[in-house]
Structure 1
Amino acid sequence: MANSTALVLISSAALLYFVGTLIYRLYLHPLAKFPGPKIAAITGWYETYHDLKNPGGQFMYKLHKLHSIYGPIVRISPAEIHISDSAWVDTLLVSSSQGVRDKYVPAANQAGTPKGVFGTALHNTHRRRRAALSPLFSRSCAVRAEGLIYDKIDLLLKRLDIQIARDGYAELRTLFICLATDVVYQYCLGHSFELLDDEVKGKEWHDSIRALAKIIPYTRQFNWIIPLSQKIPVSFMRMVSLNMARVAAMHHDMEAQASQAVEEYEQDEKNGLDSSFNGNPKERFALFRALLQHAGLPPHEKRFDRISHEAVTLLAAGGETTASVLTTAIYFIIANKQNVLPRLQEEVDSVMSGVSRPSVADLERLPWLTAVIKEALRISTITARLTRVAPDEVLQYKDWVMPAGTAVSMTLREISFDPEIFPSPMMFQPERWLPSNPNLDRCNRYSVAFSRGSRMCIGINFAHAELYIAIATLIHRRRFELYDTIRERDVDFTRDFFVGETSAATKGVRVNYAMSSG
């Protein structure tokens, strides 16, 4: 009898809590009057359903439909407002001098690196951690890395030659992930990852990065997935989920290297040796040494299990995003043989015929190459929405007032494809970025591929160096044609895995040689 009474009381309390929560979210919550579907106001499972249903990562399309129904401001969850108005990006994504913007905790934790810059929620903590990383990604450090990038491009060309001779084609996305990861790995850790040297290892790494991308829709909803996987032996995880096992293995490897770097740094300090980072990337554990020597970081921020999160973030993001842009650029260059390719070849050949390895500064002076890169960046803009919280500031959009502490998001890809700013946004049109375009200033103002504000991509200088050198060298030294590549299947993004993902049926962007070249 007592057990029955207790069960009734517990059930009643649960029902009362559910009903109370429902009433509060629908009618009493500070966001109750904002437009949007009632189901989204009640539960975050609304997003979960659209993001996890086959083929995954579909909530970004649902967002577009919601705005077409409710207008430019929509309540998309019990606690989050999404705004679709390009001009408002200057209010949400501001510099530190303009305002404080925390990252919404669920969004910060989705990559499983809460101790790294990308996963840092609090503004002041992020600012401190970013300051420690910034010296490694300065313009001068990027210049020092030019030789490294050219060396890796030489290896890429050899791998292209081997694959095309053997298979009749090469798949670019995998090769570009190997290229970008090899570069950032040696740049940050001082030794080669050798993905371009070992085709099997390169394919396995590509699968690991794809695994990390594919679990983003899950970790976006369930932040505990990656931290939990790291506590489970990798051998067991392989039986449960190969994707999760690959992600966990990546974290374990970076923790091991970070631990070794801390040990070596402390030993050098003890022996009175110079253990500081001298601004030269490619030195042993340059990333970790830059963090360990930074006076602005307290001791607990220099623990191996903290700084390893920075390495995971840089290797995953630095490889994936750069590879995506390179793949997009090469596809559209080859696909536009009449309008884009001849002009680019002529411009690049004029510089590289006399100097085999021109500086990035020289390449940046080429207007058509620059325009091609900017357009590839626009089309490759990340698909994920960016969610910020102004903890002490009331934000306003037209007549709508959002209380301090409200989670507010925008999707940068919507800006990059805004037809009011970029007419015919699905078209690859590098001429948008030429001085002859009367709307060039407006295009530049809304160029958001590297985000905006205090959390703008820290690797912008490094990424630019890779893009300029890779595209110029590939176009100068080889003549490509597409091989069984269909834009709708192999190029256009159809899923949101933070970085856009193509159809599950994709064969990748594949190429062979149009003629013998060397």
Structure 2
Amino acid sequence: MSILGRAALWTLIVFACFYIIKAIYRITLHPLARFPGPKLPAMTRCYEAYYEVFVDGTGGKFGEKIEEWHKQYGPIIRINPFELHVNDPEFFDELFNFNPHLWKRTFAIDNLVHTPSSAQYKKRRQVLQNYFSQQKTLQMTYIVRDRIKALANYPVARKGTGEPIKASLIRFVEDPEYSEGYFSSTQNTFKNIYFFPRAMSHKIRSDTDRSPPTIFDEYKDNRLPPEEKTPNRIFQVALMPLGAGAGTPSYVLDIATYYILADPAISQRVKAELVCVWPDPADPAPDVSVLEDLPFLRGCVKEALRLALGPMARLQDMKYGEWTIPRGTPVGMTHRFIHHDPAIYPDPFEFKPGRWMQGDESKKLEKYLVTLRGSRQCLAILLAYTELYLSLATLFRQFDLELYETDRTCVDPKYDYFAPFPEKHDLSNGRLRFVVQDSVYVEGRKL
């Protein structure tokens, strides 16, 4: 064997010994070695990566393995070399509380959601929370109503044709305005991009004073240190509402719409409630505050949030039962396990709006909803509720809809890609599809 070959062999042996010793250390002497759980995931994160990325050609199934391990090993388990996972509703308040020493595990993205330090998160949130306050949300309601009118144009155009409508995040791509000619014509524009900033600077300056306030106005006027106003930080500020504001509400809306349409009794009850506060569907929709007071519609929204489905780490040691968790250890809980816990939600896989109409008992259930708890609860929850209530009211008061080749596999969460995805998650084909019958009212006209 040549010198180069022997060197390569010894290098391979050294690396193999190193990883073997490290694996043995992780399951014997590591601070988390005493916690229950399977041994192979405790040795290497490759096991987690396999289920997250490669298993069955789809990935996104590590959450299912965690659920299996909890059934086998108990409520607290070690799921990889460095992280613990707890499945116990009684521990929910302990983990997702307002403790200033709570840290969130980083996610390689420097935005508000993934800010690790609670102190830094609080500063970043304060900049944006005024924009999503109750007063600002009321001021933005007209924008939501305009978007819902645009949404209503799709059912109107297909009324009585039997042609299915695809409820899709990328519906705008199918707009005829976005044709091949449109994109080819814009290519020449970018040849002259050098002159664009200078030519537009005056127009942007003059339009700024007349345009409605945006999230950047809150950010620009706030006295933040320079490192919070770098191009990357501004980019993340712009990007976050696009992901959180488009994907999550639309998924909840898909789930609510599907389950309401799938059960005629639920559909009729929703429509009966809406008739009481919206007698003439040709009139504008009632205020959101009126819709929120409809108990059954509110139950449908809460139930959709429950079915729609962040690991944390502490600076100090914390305890779970008889277990003392070492400081700095990432400790996670999965909302899906709690949302599907039959001890909290009987018949957890069924859509039952009535469970949210039981007074004080229903209020106890709300603390487990993913958007409503903890120091990092949804920043724009009021805006999200505005979108959900107005959208559902419009769909079920102004249209008679019927599901088309859509079942639970099109909406029920199946894969965990940070955000939940159903088994059939081809957005270009629409998660939810339905046809429009003959009774359609929109913008003051019966069509």
Please point out which of 491, 510, 518 is paired with 2:411: 491
Task: State the 1:516 CA deviation.
Answer: 2.9
| Inter-partner Cα distance in structure 2 for 1:89 and 1:201 | 47
Task: State the 1:418 CA deviation.
Answer: 0.9
User: What is residue 283 of structure 1 aligned with on the other side?
Assistant: 212
| Inter-partner Cα distance in structure 1 for 2:260 and 2:403 | 10
Please point out which of 452, 459, 472 is paired with 2:393: 472
> Is the 1:34–1:74 Cα contact (8 Å) retained in structure 2?
yes
User: What is residue 299 of structure 2 aligned with on the other side?
Assistant: 371
Alpha-carbon spacing, 1:30–1:466, altered in 2? closer, same or farther (3 Å): same
Query: Per-residue displacement from partner, 1:381-438 (whole Å, max 9, x unpaired)?
Result: 1xxxx211112x21211111111100110001111111001000011100001136x7
The residue type paired with residue 422 of structure 1 is: Y
| Aligned pairs (5 A) from 1:235-384 | 283=212, 286-295=214-223, 297-338=224-265, 340-353=266-279, 356-381=284-309
> Is the 1:43–1:77 Cα contact (8 Å) retained in structure 2?
yes
Alpha-carbon spacing, 1:122–1:430, altered in 2? closer, same or farther (3 Å): same
| Inter-partner Cα distance in structure 1 for 2:166 and 2:207 | 44
What is the number of residues matched between the two proteins?
416
Alpha-carbon spacing, 1:443–1:201, altered in 2? closer, same or farther (3 Å): farther
The residue type paired with residue 307 of structure 2 is: I
Task: State the 1:275 CA deviation.
Answer: 7.5
- Normalised TM-score (structure 1): 0.74
> Is the 1:81–1:408 Cα contact (8 Å) retained in structure 2?
yes
User: Over aligned residue pairs, what C-alpha RMSD do you find?
Assistant: 2.9
| Aligned pairs (5 A) from 1:420-439 | 420-435=343-358, 439=361
Deviates more, 1:155-164 or 1:308-317: 155-164
SS at match of 1:426: coil
Deviates more, 1:62-71 or 1:46-55: 46-55
Please point out which of 133, 144, 148 is paired with 2:128: 133
| Inter-partner Cα distance in structure 2 for 1:445 and 1:102 | 21
Task: State the 1:199 CA deviation.
Answer: 5.9
The residue type paired with residue 471 of structure 1 is: L
The residue type paired with residue 389 of structure 2 is: Y
Query: Per-residue displacement from partner, 1:192-244 (whole Å, max 9, x unpaired)?
Result: xxx39936759xxxxxxxxxxxxxxxxxxxxxxxxxxxxxxxx9xxxxxxxxx
| Inter-partner Cα distance in structure 2 for 1:99 and 1:120 | 13
Query: Per-residue displacement from partner, 1:171-210 (whole Å, max 9, x unpaired)?
Result: 22x0xx369xxxxxxxxxxxxxxx39936759xxxxxxxx
| Inter-partner Cα distance in structure 2 for 1:151 and 1:416 | 33
Task: State the 1:368 CA deviation.
Answer: 1.4
Query: Per-residue displacement from partner, 1:293-326 (whole Å, max 9, x unpaired)?
Result: 111x212211232111122121012101000010
User: What is residue 406 of structure 1 aligned with on the other side?
Assistant: 329
> Is the 2:159–2:440 Cα contact (8 Å) retained in structure 1?
no
SS at match of 2:34: coil
> Is the 1:178–1:319 Cα contact (8 Å) retained in structure 2?
no
Q: Which has the higher contact order (CA 8 A, sep 6+)?
A: 2
> Is the 2:160–2:437 Cα contact (8 Å) retained in structure 1?
no
User: 1:458 and 2:379 equivalent?
Assistant: yes
| Inter-partner Cα distance in structure 1 for 2:177 and 2:151 | 15
| Inter-partner Cα distance in structure 1 for 2:13 and 2:370 | 51
User: What is residue 91 of structure 1 aligned with on the other side?
Assistant: 94
| Inter-partner Cα distance in structure 1 for 2:141 and 2:425 | 36
> Is the 1:160–1:170 Cα contact (8 Å) retained in structure 2?
yes
The residue type paired with residue 38 of structure 1 is: K
Alpha-carbon spacing, 1:178–1:142, altered in 2? closer, same or farther (3 Å): farther
Alpha-carbon spacing, 1:67–1:292, altered in 2? closer, same or farther (3 Å): same
Alpha-carbon spacing, 1:50–1:155, altered in 2? closer, same or farther (3 Å): same
> Is the 1:86–1:414 Cα contact (8 Å) retained in structure 2?
no
> Is the 1:412–1:451 Cα contact (8 Å) retained in structure 2?
no
> Is the 2:87–2:337 Cα contact (8 Å) retained in structure 1?
yes
Task: State the 1:82 CA deviation.
Answer: 0.6
Alpha-carbon spacing, 1:199–1:416, altered in 2? closer, same or farther (3 Å): farther
> Is the 1:79–1:406 Cα contact (8 Å) retained in structure 2?
yes
Structure with greater Cα Rg: 2
> Is the 1:348–1:476 Cα contact (8 Å) retained in structure 2?
yes
The residue type paired with residue 72 of structure 2 is: I
Alpha-carbon spacing, 1:426–1:8, altered in 2? closer, same or farther (3 Å): closer
The residue type paired with residue 218 of structure 2 is: A
User: What is residue 390 of structure 1 aligned with on the other side?
Assistant: 314
SS at match of 1:511: strand
Query: Structure 2 unaligned runs (5+)?
Result: 180-186, 188-192, 442-447
| Inter-partner Cα distance in structure 2 for 1:300 and 1:494 | 39
User: 1:198 and 2:199 equivalent?
Assistant: no
| Inter-partner Cα distance in structure 2 for 1:165 and 1:20 | 69
Deviates more, 1:496-505 or 1:81-90: 496-505
- Normalised TM-score (structure 2): 0.85
User: 1:449 and 2:367 equivalent?
Assistant: no
